[in-house]
Structure 1
Amino acid sequence: MKNFIYIVLFLLLVTSCSKDEIDLFVETDYLSIDIEPKENQKYPEYTHTFVFDNEDVNSTTITVPVIIAGRPTAQLRNFKIQVVDTLTTALEGTHFESINQELNVIDANSSNGHISLEINRTANLKNETLTIGLEIISDDTFGQGPNPLVTVNITDRLVKPDWWYTKGNNPWSSDPNLGYYTEEKLKQWFEFWDINDGTDPWSLEPYTYEYYSEYFGEWMIGTNLALMRITIEEFRQWLLKKDPQPIDENGDKVADTLDTLE
């Protein structure tokens, strides 16, 4: 009787296992794009712009991060991807090269890896942004994780950086901020700082949260915000001294659009 009960319990345990639990038992690894989709985005995005590269740079290889849910192995492992035509406006052979599957790897002794893709700098990227949809292919080694697709954006223009602070998404406060984004404003902001590689000025000392926390304590964070506010005002005055006044693509004076709602 006791053996019969054990058999019943075992059968209940097996039949109650989900497919994912069974897959984990047979050591299937799930592979995902290691970029979180932004709010209201169906798929994660990866953006590359050639605008900060030297003029003689005609192509480059980008790497999109991926991550596995599973056990790392001592060997480097390859995985496969495919182009998703419905998410792609770029032309294979013109704007990007054929996928070399051998370059899509999971590092040894790691859960991390990358997609490798060669993209080309073409004249039309000065005026537009093209997309390449990529999807991880499920096979005997890897199953698709929660984010198997990514949209790669390629351009030769300035694009809104993730660090662009506006009211509502400034990590410290709704004020100060640079106002709504335009290419001309970003161009002027980089010129003001003499930045030519896309670095976020707020990531530099003495503007960082870590700088004030370490050297002055939490109670001095308000001074950090005050310094940012002063810097934006200095930027405004710097703009006002220019002749002619910088005008953005919306027809507005850049100096008049700081610290405004997006």
Structure 2
Amino acid sequence: MKQGIFFTIMIVLAVTACKKTPDFMFQAPLQNVYFDIKPEDSVVYTFAYKPDLGRDTVYLPVKLAGLRADSIRKFGVIVVDTATTARPGVHYEAFKEWYELPADSGVFKLPVILFNTDPSLQTQSVKLTVKLKPGAGLDTSVNKLIRTKVILSAKLEQPDWWTTWPLGAYSRTKHELFMIATGVTSMTKEGLDAPRNLFLTGRLNVMIADPFAWVANNPDKGYVLTQRPDGEYDFYAISNPAKKILVRKVVSSGRFYFVDENDLDIN
């Protein structure tokens, strides 16, 4: 009799356990996206070594914390105005309303389109701080990792090798002309490299001695000289017309000179 009662109780428990009730159904939380960048780090980008480049794109790595899905899910980006000095349309392209994490994917590269059109970037940097926002099927509750920043500039600094070779007085404009004329961004300080480095120095001297001849003889470089209303000229890359270097004539000599950021003729 006791054995029969025991089996009856077991059957009742088994049937009860098989019934699904709303109180015990597993509710999966939303999946999260976050920046795969340390909170204390910034993405630093400079146009300093690309003077002919009018725009470029950096990609911020966004990752999924959770399970992949067989459908497209969305998240957004917010610019944190209180921690941003960059201006939309001037320093960066405005973000889309939503970005899509592809199906069966746990990684996304968020494109940040940057502009090299503001002359002030040659003397100072600007900051763009962004934050992820929830979208369809994706949350952003990993608080410490949903915010990051991009530091943008186009500022050149005098390199340690500049005074090793006969390059003359340093200016950021002359440094830029050096890179345009030579196609390199640096030289060594080694004596054994003197033949190469003096050759590069000579290419710069040819350029600054006659800007018009240089433009005519180097069409592959993609630079032009256009006259301004005041009779002086602007030197710039066809690919980046917003970034200009002044070329003016000295009446006493009849020669044209590139002009640096200090309004001094470059020799």
Give the TM-score normalised by the residue count of structure 1: 0.49
Instruction: Pick the structure with greater CA Rg.
Output: 2
TM-score normalized by the length of structure 2 = 0.48
Structure with a larger share of its residues in strand: 2
